[in-house]
Structure 1
């Protein structure tokens, strides 16, 4: 099923609070603090053999997958700095910079 995103189970509440108090998590794409929801993005898609994950906001995760194919994410765009240089992603990161951590809107794939 295309476009389906699986979310990893969250940490136990006590663990999450301790982790957040010690070192607040930030989004790997936009560098804003993570709010109440976190999704884990495979830098190289699992279908391409990737294992490493990074925390991202749900809206950032959808933007990544709306802006690049799995083949592109497995190649040069596996590097997040390079991914941020993609015009659609760069525009998104600039736009979302002043939004609250739990900000949500629908994300559409570019035509």
Structure 2
């Protein structure tokens, strides 16, 4: 069973899963990791690509952040296949 490296819930193939570069591609990151789409979106809503490249490029460092910890505590209660269909980047 494959699990999300951020929240620890099971990964179920489908729209709830996508890939994350721990070091953003814009900063020459190459390695991708499968994780929940909602967890991936949360990371990018909290940190800039510069912050991700400079400091928050490990799971341990991401989990040092209070907002990420609160999110993980909340999302762990959700079904592993759940994802938020609302994309905040599309707001007008």
TM-score (norm: length of structure 1): 0.71
CA distance in 1, matches of 2:20, 2:82: 18
Pick aligned residue for 2:64 from 85, 98, 108? 85
- How many residues were matched structurally? 86
Query: Match of 1:35?
Result: 12
SS of alignment partner, residue 5 of structure 2: coil
State the shift of 1:107 in Å: 6.6
Summarize the alignment of residues 31-70 of structure 1 with structure 2, pairs less than 5 Å apart: 31-37=8-14, 38-70=17-49
Summarize the alignment of residues 20-31 of structure 1 with structure 2, pairs less than 5 Å apart: 24-31=1-8
CA distance in 1, matches of 2:58, 2:87: 22
Q: Which has the larger radius of gyration?
A: 1
Q: Which runs of 5+ in 1 are unaligned?
A: 1-23
**What per-residue deviation string (whole Å, max 9, x for no partner) do you get for residues 10-44 of structure 1?**
xxxxxxxxxxxxxx211111111002332110000
TM-score (norm: length of structure 2): 0.84
| Aligned Cα root-mean-square deviation (Å) | 1.6
**Quick one: higher RCO (CA 8 Å, sep 6+), 1 or 2?**
2
State the shift of 1:53 in Å: 1.1
